[in-house]
């Protein structure tokens, strides 16, 4: 740790201006605690550069003083990825002033944006030019493109458009020594050696700071039909998915699973949100169809799909949105789920991914095992079931204290993740490792894979100055 940080902080101020170097506890507070209030850290300062050149100069300065850097975007990470450790040795580098949309190339169908651009603003900029940027998640009003890239974010449209890695063509990155790599190429084909872009995406700020990105755009679909569908058993959810995928093909743009308790909680979190059907079934699916034909044709297709599934006994009831505002209403229920659940108190969260063929057996066996040990816990499941991604969360029973629930965190997660890995799944589908799953990662990946990851880290950041204590121990 620096004996006297004053000179270092003055040098930071000479690069970005004193008003953008936060070092008082009050100014730094929002940057030092995560969205779920599970992780809290300390820092020497929060630095807020305005452009790539300032990032580069700050990183060079930190390298000279050997000060670790924790990159941060919208601070919506679920695994403490953007929160520093407790030891006041590092700086948080917030990219939130670097938020410009730089260019939309309509012919190439690409958009180039600063890393601190808010995801929602990128979607809106694309929309204004009759294009779609399809990444969509409940935190889209706060999370940034840099954070989305660093975590390889997923969300509700991965089923059709892929996650952030698949949506990205080029990056600009400041390396741990402060050099700028300009890889902002809008190419769909580029086989010129190792794909550094793919290495930086998902690296959670441990290999460098992403400062800009060139992203893919898609044609805007004129029609979106959204339906909330009631299903009795998890087997039927999977059968419904198979039929929907076959009938709607690439027009099936979302297939989200929600358990009834979470819909009820969303209704409590926002009492203005009316729930359009009785919550008297084990599962609900939010299905979205996107197409380019007329609204009535889209409605016909979704109605026919649901009629077929009712006939086959897979679906007991469904609501199909009749207007854009009704569709928004249904999506609002889904988007409120993470927030509503956070209100419930401490949850033991899991962001798991499984082959779709293994979902049924996982859900059944996990419930049996967990309930045999703790009969009163509540298992709250939602997620992007069309991608095999479940947010499998365990809440304490209403009679228990949160501290009681907290003591079983490791044991619960061990059971859940063991079942996931037995089925060739992953313990992080889209949120990343951060500090939450740091210790577990070496137990879940092979020694070969861990050694390769460590070699890459050592080659790019030998002094471990980029987001230390995240991803790799």
Ligand X SMILES: Cc1cc2nc3c(=O)[nH]c(=O)nc-3n(C[C@H](O)[C@H](O)[C@H](O)COP(=O)(O)OP(=O)(O)OC[C@H]3O[C@@H](n4cnc5c(N)ncnc54)[C@H](O)[C@@H]3O)c2cc1C
Question: Site residues (CB under 6 A) for ligand X?
Answer: 35, 70-78, 81-82, 95, 115, 137-139, 143-144, 146-148, 150-151, 153-155, 204-205, 209-210, 338-339, 430-431, 434, 467, 470
Least CB distance from residue 127 to ligand X, whole Å?
20
Please, what is the minimum distance in Å from the beta carbon of residue 367 to ligand X? 23
Q: Which is nearer to ligand X, 95 or 420 (CB)?
A: 95
Min CB(187)–ligand X separation in Å: 22
**CB of residue 265 vs ligand X: minimum separation in angstroms?**
13
* Buried b / exposed e along 123-148 (16+ C-beta atoms within 10 A): bebbeeeebbbbbbbbbbebbbbbbb
**DSSP state string for 204-231:** TTSS-EEEEEEEE-EEPPSEEEEEEEEE
Nearer to ligand X, 35 or 255 (CB): 35
Whether the CA torsion 39, 45, 49, 55 is positive or negative: it is negative
Q: How many CB atoms lie within 10 A of CB 365?
A: 14
Nearest in space to 224 (alpha carbons), one of 169, 320, 158, 289: 289
End-to-end Cα distance, the chain? 19
As measured in angstroms, the least distance from the Cβ of 35 to ligand X is 4
Residues 6+ apart with CB under 8 A from 208: 173, 174, 175, 176, 181, 200, 460, 461, 466
Q: Which one, 72 or 236, has the nearer CB to ligand X?
A: 72
Per the listing, tokens 């003055």 go with 10
Q: How far is the CB of 143 from ligand X (least distance, A)?
A: 3
Tokens describing residue 338: 């993470």
Residue closer to ligand X, measured from CB, 209 or 309: 209
Tokens 């969509």 correspond to 136
At 408, give phi and psi (nearest 5°). Answer: -100, 5
Nearer to ligand X, 29 or 300 (CB): 29
In the bound state with ligand X, the residue whose beta carbon lies nearer, of 353 and 467, is: 467
Closest distance of CB 264 from ligand X, Å: 18
Return the number of the residue (260 or 434) whose C-beta is nearest ligand X: 434
CB 265 within 8 A of CB 300: no
Residues present in the chain in total? 473
Of 41 and 291, which has the nearer Cβ to ligand X? 41
Smallest distance from ligand X to CB 23, Å: 20
* Whole-number Å distance between alpha carbons of 9 and 29: 18
Given the complex with ligand X, which of 315 and 427 has the nearer CB atom? 427
Helix (H, G, I), strand (E, B) or coil at 276: coil
Closest approach, Cβ 237 to ligand X, in A, equals 19
**At closest approach, how far in Å is the CB of 368 from ligand X?**
28
3-state secondary structure of 286: strand
Nearer to ligand X, 172 or 298 (CB): 172
The DSSP code for 52 is: H
C-alpha–C-alpha distance, residues 52 and 146, integer Å: 13
Give the nearest distance from C-beta 330 to ligand X in angstroms. 16
Which residues make Cβ contacts (< 8 Å) with residue 103, sequence separation at least 6? 110, 111, 112
Closest contact distance (angstroms) between CB of 98 and ligand X is 8
> Which residues on neighbouring strands pair with residue 349, listed in sequence order?
none
Whole-angstrom Cα Rg for the chain: 23
Tokens 């991803």 belong to which residue? 471
When the beta carbons of 95 and 305 are compared against ligand X, the nearer one is: 95
Q: Which residue is nearest to ligand X (CB)?
A: 147
- Of 12 and 314, the one with the shorter C-beta distance to ligand X is 12
- Give the separation between CA 425 and CA 310, rounded to whole angstroms: 31
CB < 8 Å & 24+ apart, contacts of 321-324: 321/225, 321/226, 321/227, 324/224
Torsion angle in degrees (nearest 10) through CA of 459, 76, 389, 138 = -140
């Amino acid at each position: 740790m620096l004996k006297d940080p004053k000179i270092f902080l003055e040098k930071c101020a000479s690069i970005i201006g004193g008003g953008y170097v936060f070092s008082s506890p009050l100014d730094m507070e929002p940057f030092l605690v995560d969205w779920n209030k599970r992780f809290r850290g300390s820092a020497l300062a929060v630095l807020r550069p305005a452009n790539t050149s300032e990032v580069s100069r700050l990183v060079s300065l930190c390298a000279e003083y050997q000060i670790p850097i924790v990159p941060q975007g919208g601070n919506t990470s679920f695994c403490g990825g953007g929160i520093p450790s407790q030891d006041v040795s590092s700086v948080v580098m917030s990219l939130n002033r670097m938020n410009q949309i730089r260019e939309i190339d309509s012919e190439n169908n690409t958009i180039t944006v600063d890393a601190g651009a808010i995801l929602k603003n990128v979607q809106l900029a694309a929309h204004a030019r009759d294009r779609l940027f399809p990444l969509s998640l409940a935190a889209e009003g706060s999370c940034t493109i840099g954070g989305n890239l660093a975590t390889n974010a997923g969300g509700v449209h991965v089923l059709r458009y892929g996650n952030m890695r698949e949506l990205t063509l080029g990056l600009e990155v400041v390396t741990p020594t402060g050099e700028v790599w300009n890889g902002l190429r809008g190419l769909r084909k580029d086989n010129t050696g190792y794909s550094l872009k793919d290495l930086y995406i998902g690296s959670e700020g441990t290999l460098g700071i992403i400062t800009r990105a060139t992203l893919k755009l898609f044609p805007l679909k004129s029609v979106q039909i959204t339906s909330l569908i009631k299903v009795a058993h998890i087997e039927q959810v999977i059968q419904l998915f198979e039929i929907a995928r076959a009938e709607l093909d690439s027009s099936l743009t979302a297939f989200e699973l929600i358990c009834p308790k979470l819909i009820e909680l969303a209704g409590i979190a926002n009492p203005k949100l009316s729930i359009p059907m009785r919550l008297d079934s084990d599962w609900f699916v939010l299905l979205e169809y996107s197409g380019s034909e007329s609204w009535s044709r889209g409605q016909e297709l979704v109605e026919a799909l649901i009629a077929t599934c009712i006939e086959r006994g897979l679906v007991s009831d469904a609501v199909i949105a009749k207007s854009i505002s009704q569709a928004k209403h249904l999506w609002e229920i889904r988007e409120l789920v993470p927030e509503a659940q956070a209100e419930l108190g401490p949850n033991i969260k899991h962001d798991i991914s499984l082959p779709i063929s293994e979902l049924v057996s996982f859900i059944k066996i996990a419930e049996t095992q967990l309930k045999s040990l703790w009969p009163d816990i509540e298992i709250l499941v939602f997620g992007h079931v069309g991608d095999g991604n479940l947010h499998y969360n365990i809440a304490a029973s209403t009679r228990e204290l949160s501290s009681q629930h907290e003591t079983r965190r490791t044991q619960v997660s061990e059971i859940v993740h063991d079942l996931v890995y037995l089925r060739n799944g992953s313990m992080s589908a889209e949120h990343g490792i951060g500090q939450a799953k740091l210790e577990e990662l070496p137990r879940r990946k092979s020694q070969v894979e861990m050694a390769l990851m460590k070699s890459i880290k050592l080659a790019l950041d030998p002094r471990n100055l980029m987001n230390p204590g995240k991803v790799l121990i």
